[in-house]
Structure 1
């Protein structure tokens, strides 16, 4: 404000509405790029010059990934609710469920990754940009499945491709021992699926995203057993699986694999004589050796899990992307408390904090779907149904 005051002192006739023009488009663009996503969208409605700057093709803003929670009620589908946490605004956003596929049955599942949302059933596979409604069905998978692992990567021509791994083929997760689900890679240009070798036999048939975690890292798609601790990687160029190894630091009860910045991270709950702790380890992708890099502060652990029961940690979940790792409790009566670990730049240091409480949930959920993903600001600002998505993003409570 001091800068604007000096402008008025130089020219008392200068109106406050013109002061902003003295910023210049370049400086205004820098300021807008630092704002949270919803604030950027709101700024497009303030005046034509601001809208022109933000809507221009050259405007870009690198935003931290959002944390998404979708509560599914298996009895009354209309009771489903969706939320997103913007770490830069430090706020939860209640999303309209119309942005997500309304499950036609209990067997339909979806997951988010790298700016895309995927829906899979035993009959179809579809995708859309996150926070967009333009859903697109793909050609049928060679092996229909539900609850698979899904990853997004770019080929040599910088075109996104989708890799689908694992999942279940039958209602209730029944397993066909005679038929393993092959890995399939989707090419959106030709609307075709390429068959690749299935998960190694060490991973039992019927493994789904409920029991596995995955991470894309340096041209490989890693699959990790949350409780089995088996790990293997699929080479996205050569299309083969690495030898299966066991990755289990001492005392770990269960853990999740996350691709975080320029490192592969294992995040898991440990049990030791001093009591439980939630630890992070950096993984050497060549040797699978691990080194501890962080431990969640005990006060945060007690905030997220405050029961004295032996199984109090069974509801723990962990997702991450970019430089953020979220740990949360999916118990409804606790209203899904969560905390986040943020890696800070090249120093490798990280900071922990509890995130605000989730907005009041109106309904009970039978299943919680969670993921961490970037949000494509470009598709919100320069796409959609005549600006409907922009208006809804601004108005989300």
Structure 2
């Protein structure tokens, strides 16, 4: 662990109304001065400072989350209360149960737009460090894990709301890996988290055989465990994985010649058995995808493993004709819904991949080619668009991405 940072007072975000925010760098509203009138000059004003801290806490906890952060700039006392452990541990009582979505682009600055799904409003927002769309990103319970496995070999565990984060060194790969997948799971009751990195590399003498290593980080011991080694025969792990109920699920791709080249499957590994190799996983170990997919995203939604996949055309399997959502029940997939055609058309020309993440009761789907954000509510079984984001393309091939997370004030 290299560092632990807290910078609420420097957090940079705002709604989109003031022109000063149009450049994409969030700022607080300018300080407002309350001008008193001459009415009731005979009344003796009573200062709010005489109230005890617990009353101030009740006042602040009744505010929306965005207002709480602006209130932290009002006075030193409110800033200390909001930053206190006592206050942040109570945030579950007043924060929105809806997940929020952060949208960013391939910019040279760590800025983007944050969508409050409860208030249905976008805010300019800035992360405390630079994030590129090629990074692996995995959210869980208000924290987000960012991994740059190519250049800096750094990993960030961050609360985007409080901007508090810690930095970890990424463990070295046992060989030259081609693909890496990140999974992240937080146990709030124990103030612990688990990180998994899945790396895959092709066997030099067999195109169908892929060597796989699983690296697990134990936050209690603050160390990376020895990697678990294994292999897959006829299936290639990619860059998609998720932890659900302490089981690691990895999306795999069929590599056999003369097979449909968009054929996907799922393999699993129990993280309680991190000392044993999982050997060579063959067909009988693979949970087949519910249909021919062009791409897939895995996520933990309401404690269930959810697959969001692009459905390929019959005559052109590499082209998306729709998007579906499935939930895994044992080894069988249950279809929850398929995106209505009117929403598929709203994406314009879909790319062969898309960003998608979920949490709480919401699933977000965003095309890499634009800023349109579609949301599916797992409880009401309804699709709807978010409010229009004011982020615009600066060049035709610009890529957009994003992730959702639960808004929380505390780091753990």
Shift, 1:378, TM fit: 1.9
In 2, Cα distance between equivalents of 1:233 and 1:183? 11
Match of residue 72, structure 2, among 6, 22, 44: 44
Partner of residue 224 from structure 2, selected from 178, 192, 202:
192
Change (3 A) 1:29 1:81: closer
Q: Give aligned pairs, total.
A: 332
> C-alpha separation between the residues in 2 aligned to 1:184 and 1:339?
34
Aligned counterparts of 1:14 and 1:200: Cα–Cα separation in 2: 78
Q: Deviations over 1:183-228 (max 9, x none)?
A: 1112354433421134533432xx432xxx3222111011124743
Task: Say which of 136, 140, 145 aligns to 2:167.
Answer: 136
Contact kept, 8 Å, 2:200 with 2:213, in 1: the verdict is: no
Superposition pairs of residues 158-307 of structure 1, within 5 angstroms: 158-166=191-199, 175=202, 177=204, 180-188=211-219, 189-198=221-230, 200-204=232-236, 207-209=237-239, 213-225=240-252, 227-239=262-274, 244-250=285-291, 253-270=294-311, 276-284=321-329, 286=330, 288-304=331-347, 306-307=348-349
Counterpart CA distance in 2 for 1:266 and 1:38 is: 32
Counterpart among 58, 61, 85 of residue 115 in structure 2: 85
* 242-251 or 83-92, which deviates more: 242-251
- Greater share of strand residues, 1 or 2? 2
Relative to the length of structure 2, the TM-score reads 0.66
Task: Give the root-mean-square deviation of aligned CA atoms.
Answer: 4.0
**Structure 2 counterpart SS, 1:46:** coil
Specify the alignment match of 2:27 in structure 1: none
Q: Deviation string for 1:39-89 (max 9, x for gaps)?
A: 22112233566445533323332454332334226xxxx377544333234
TM-score by length of 1: 0.68
Residue pair 1:219, 1:235 contacting (<8 A) in 2 also: yes
SS at match of 2:235: coil
Q: Cα distance 1:208–1:279, how it changes in 2: closer, same or farther (>3 A)?
A: closer
CA contact (8 A) 2:103 2:400 kept: yes
SS of 1:182's partner is strand
Compared CA separation, residues 93 and 15, structure 1 to 2 (3 A): same
**What's the offset of the Cα at 1:376?**
4.6
Structure-1 separation of matches of 2:355 and 2:112: 17
Alignment CA distance shift 1:125-1:228 (3 Å): farther
Q: Which residue of 1 aligns with 2:156?
A: 127
Does structure 1 conserve the Cα–Cα contact (< 8 Å) formed by 2:110 and 2:126? no
More helix by share: 1
Q: 1:21 to 1:341 in 2, by over 3 A?
A: farther
Gaps of 5+ in 2: 1-41, 254-261, 315-319
